Structure formats: structure tokens, C-alpha cells
Amino acid sequence: QVQLVESGGGSVQAGGSLRLSCAASGYTYLRNVMGWFRQAPGKEREGVAYVRIETGRTYYADSEKGRFIISQDNAKNTVYLQMNRLKPEDTAMYYCAAGSYYDSTWYSSPGREVWYNYWGQGTQVTVSS
């Protein structure tokens, strides 16, 4: 099993920045892919950014390209999400997720939740205008 714990959420004004962290423990070697997802009140959960652990290659939802950056520190088994130029519509609960299995089709659809079998409890991000 893999345990994931998110941190770094909080309240910030529009235009500000936050860095979220996702620390993994347990059988961390089971992680092949990881992603950040978010869910705003009354909306479905959506993917934001993703990383292939072995290679470090990153992928982003089209709407977040250029504002959000996903990175990893393998020595700490931690994945980060740097969020810049935050907007009120970024307000949501942010979750990190890890997937043990992937194949070549992951690269074309990294945001599909079926790829992720471990989830954290989430960290709240609130952006005020």
C-alpha cells in the first residue's frame, strides 16, 4: 500500500502563489505515475498535472499550462504542485494520487482517474478576489 499526505493548502489572494506537497510513504516503489486533481464545490473532480515517476516527464491539463508546475523529489518521495497567478476559480480541494500500473496509453490520457489507485485526503486551496 501507498499512503499519500497532501499539505501546503491555504487562503491566498488572486495573483498569488502556493506550493502543495504530496508525501508518499509505505510501498513507495509502487508509484509509477502521480497526479494532482482538484474538486470545486458542486463540480466534478478534474485533473491538473501529472508526472511519470521514473522519467520525471510532466503533463498538464490544457487550462493550467504555464501557471502550474508539477515536480518531484524522489529522495523524499514527494511530489509538488507549484501554483502561480492563482485565480478565484482555482478554489478547490486538491488531491494527489498515485498509480501503480500504466501503459503507453497513459501518455495520451494521464487525467483519467482509472490510472490512479492511491489517493490522499486532500488539501483546501481558497483564492479570494
Q: What is the DSSP string of 3-62?
A: EEEEE--EEEETT--EEEEEEEEESGGG-SEEEEEEE-TTS--EEEEEEETTT--EEE-G
Range of weakest confidence among 38-47, 61-70, 91-100, 117-126: 61-70
What pLDDT shows up at residue 65? 75
Residue-averaged pLDDT of the chain: 95
Is residue 53 classed exposed, middle or buried when 0-12, 13-18 and 19+ CB atoms within 10 A define those classes? buried
For 64-95, write each residue's pLDDT tens digit.
778 999 999 999 999 999 999 999 999 999 99
CA distances from 46 to 13, 61, 94, 114 (A): 22, 9, 10, 13
- Tell me how far apart the alpha carbons of residues 14 and 88 are, in angstroms, rounded to a whole number: 6
pLDDT value at position 102? 85
What are residue 5's DSSP bridge partners?
Answer: 23
